[in-house]
Amino acid sequence: MRSPVKRGVIVTSLVVLLGTGVFWWGTDGFTALTAETARRVEILRSPRPVPNVTLEDQDGNIFKLQDYQGKLLAVDFIFTRCTTLCRSMGMIFKQIRDLIPEKSLGRDFMLISISFDPDHDDPASLKKYGQAYGADGEIWRIARVPDKAELKALLEAFGIIVIPDEFGGFEHNTALHLVGRDGKLRLISDIDKAVPFAEEVVALL
């Protein structure tokens, strides 16, 4: 007959094992420990369609996001008055572009930086931002979504949170996004993962 101490140890062990199993199941094997991680895991498993919004680029050209279908598309979100993260994103996107084989640029792979501040980011502001990083307006466009409802839907699809700050700017999250040839968001990566992101693009090419 087991002693009360032994029975207690056995019961405790079973509770711990059961709790660990539930936690493992509930977090996809410890991979979805945050909402952001869970979102990224879900995108990998089930790529998400993105809305076919209308954009205006740094040259004043009007186009649709769906125009990129058939190509891989790197996407980031910025506002040109930003002096911190968005400046880093410009350098990171330049690095990604430079890591892609030249023969694929424009034909199989393109980049777009989308402003979430259409009230301030007119084509002239977008062009100035693009010129600072070598965005040519063809392979790499800087654009805005003039329609506020379309912009809201686009930010929600990509999981971008934008909060006005006390200085007239914005607090926002940022990431590297890859839209597949089918127009679906298929990969979200940290901004310090430019090289692995480019390697993923090359593998898909």
Taking residues 40-56, report their average pLDDT: 89
- Cα dihedral across residues 152, 156, 159, 162: positive or negative: positive
Binding residue ranges for Cu cation: 82, 86, 172
Q: Is the pTM of this model over 0.85?
A: no
Please name every residue paired with 172 in a beta bridge, in sequence order, or none if there are none.
Answer: 162
Least confident of 67-76, 82-91, 138-147: 82-91
Q: What is the pLDDT of residues 116-139, one digit of tens each?
A: 999 999 999 999 999 999 999 999
Confidence class of residue 8 from pLDDT cuts 50, 70 and 90?
Answer: very low
Residues 6+ apart with CB under 8 A from 76: 89, 92, 93, 113, 114, 174, 175, 176, 177
Q: What is the pLDDT of residues 180-202, one digit of tens each?
A: 999 999 999 988 888 988 998 99
CATH number of 48-204: 3.40.30.10
The percent of residues above 70 in pLDDT, for the chain, comes to: 81
pLDDT at 99: 95
Higher local confidence (pLDDT), 132 or 27: 132
pLDDT at 23: 33
Binding residue ranges: 82, 86, 172
pLDDT at 205: 86
Confidence class of residue 34 from pLDDT cuts 50, 70 and 90?
Answer: low
Mean pLDDT, all residues of the chain: 82
Q: What is the pLDDT of residues 129-185, one digit of tens each?
A: 999 999 999 999 999 999 999 999 999 999 888 777 777 667 777 889 999 999 999
Greatest mean pLDDT among 10-14, 15-19, 46-50, 121-125 = 121-125
Q: Where are the domains of the chain?
A: 4-43, 48-204
